[in-house]
């Protein structure tokens, strides 16, 4: 599915908005379901550090003629990748950006969603350095069956590279760890040239997985491959990141934990001493879980199209508390 993007001025509010056009979203079953998924996810998200849907419309006036639709979202002028190319981030700015990323991620995870494709270009930044997590085109709920070829390679958690069929929300924490290292050092942490090179670059720094972790892997191919590799010791982060402070190193090591079950959650990262100055004693409001029961439906293109059309027709841009039905 191809997207066309532009910005415009909202004639009612006067605010600048981003408009994303989905071109030929119903060309295949995969595209039709993906379009419906993205629409449902955007309708559900309601958090200041997560992109949300302001409006959605179609130029087609009936279900029979329905071929495309437009998503209207807040306009975000830059992304973190571009910001890092334009300027060197100071420590205070890095802490503030990381705090916002983790707050948005904590919300996403609390509603039961894994983003799966966090990278600098998917983190929108405005002129006040306020973050919004973007692009839920790959996101699905935690327990869904997933493939290993969905996340931008450089920020991909090792359990995705190793192609376990089930993984959890901490794949996103690994990605944020890679982003944190990049913000501090100004360079990509694991710039793998291909699937195997990426894994080797990770092991070169993090060390070989323990036998207990290898034995937990569902993929026999992954087990055999890792057992074949020469053992590597974890490098001393103080030596490879000489400019990092002790709290930065401690948090980074806990985010870049090979075993996803030992990796910190977003909530645990937010409670880390590195982010002490941003910690808020007021708990976030209870969230409504995202319902992705539709993922198990075996529908035709026409049926997915009908569901998308219904979501668009029932969307009320004047109701900020609206959730996906």
* pLDDT, tens digit (0-9, with 9 covering 90-100), for 224-258: 888 899 999 999 999 999 999 999 999 999 999 99
Lowest-confidence segment of 183-197, 199-213, 284-298 by average pLDDT: 284-298
Model pLDDT, residue 1: 38
What proportion of the chain, given as a percentage, has pLDDT over 70?
90
Q: What is the predicted pLDDT for the residue at 161? A: 83
Q: Residue holding tokens 């997933």?
A: 146
Q: Are 100 and 128 in contact (CB under 8 A)?
A: no
323 falls within a domain: no
- Domain CATH for 143: 1.10.510.10
When pLDDT is cut at 50, 70 and 90, the band that residue 145 belongs to is: very low
Assess whether pLDDT exceeds 50 at residue 193. Answer: yes
State the total domains in the chain.
2
Q: Which residues are catalytically annotated?
A: 117
Residue 148 has pLDDT above 50, yes or no: no
pLDDT tens for each residue of 90-135: 999 999 999 999 999 999 999 999 998 899 999 999 999 999 999 8
Cα angle value 273/244/242 (rounded, 5°)? 150
72-82 core/surface letters (b: 16 or more CB in 10 A; e: else): bbebbeebbbe
**Numbers of helices and strands, H then E, in the chain:** 12, 9
245 and 194 share one domain: yes
Domain residues for the domain of 13 are: 2-75+291-313
- How high is the mean pLDDT of the chain? 89
Say whether both 198 and 152 belong to one domain: yes
129: which strand partners? Answer: none
């Amino acid at each position: 599915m191809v997207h066309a993007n532009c910005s415009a001025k909202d004639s009612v509010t006067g605010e600048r908005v981003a408009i994303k056009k989905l071109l030929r979203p119903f060309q295949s079953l995969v595209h039709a379901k993906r379009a419906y998924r993205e629409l449902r996810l955007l309708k559900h998200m309601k958090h200041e550090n997560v992109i949300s849907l302001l409006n959605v419309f179609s130029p087609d006036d009936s279900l029979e003629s329905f071929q495309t639709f437009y998503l209207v979202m807040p306009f975000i002028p830059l992304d973190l990748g571009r910001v890092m190319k334009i300027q060197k981030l100071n420590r205070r700015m890095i802490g503030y950006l990381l705090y916002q990323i983790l707050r948005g991620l904590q919300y996403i995870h609390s509603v039961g969603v894994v983003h799966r494709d966090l990278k600098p270009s998917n983190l929108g930044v405005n002129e006040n350095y306020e973050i919004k997590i973007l692009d839920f085109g790959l996101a699905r709920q935690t327990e869904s069956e997933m493939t290993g070829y969905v996340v931008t390679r450089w920020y991909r958690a090792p359990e995705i590279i190793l192609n376990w069929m089930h993984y959890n929300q901490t794949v996103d924490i690994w990605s944020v760890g890679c982003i944190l290292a990049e913000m501090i050092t100004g360079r990509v942490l694991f710039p793998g040239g291909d699937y195997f090179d990426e894994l080797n670059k990770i092991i070169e720094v993090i060390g070989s997985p323990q036998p207990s972790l290898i034995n937990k892997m569902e993929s026999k191919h992954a087990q055999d491959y890792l057992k074949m590799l020469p053992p590597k010791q974890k490098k001393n982060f103080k030596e490879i990141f000489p400019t990092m402070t002790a709290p930065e190193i401690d948090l980074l090591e806990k985010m870049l934990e090979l075993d996803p079950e030992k990796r910190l959650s977003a909530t645990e990262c937010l409670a880390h001493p590195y982010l002490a100055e941003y910690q808020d004693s007021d708990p976030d409001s209870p969230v409504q879980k995202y319902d992705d029961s539709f993922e198990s439906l075996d529908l035709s293109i026409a049926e997915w199209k009908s569901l998308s059309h219904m979501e668009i027709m029932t969307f009320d841009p004047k109701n900020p508390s609206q959730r996906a039905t």
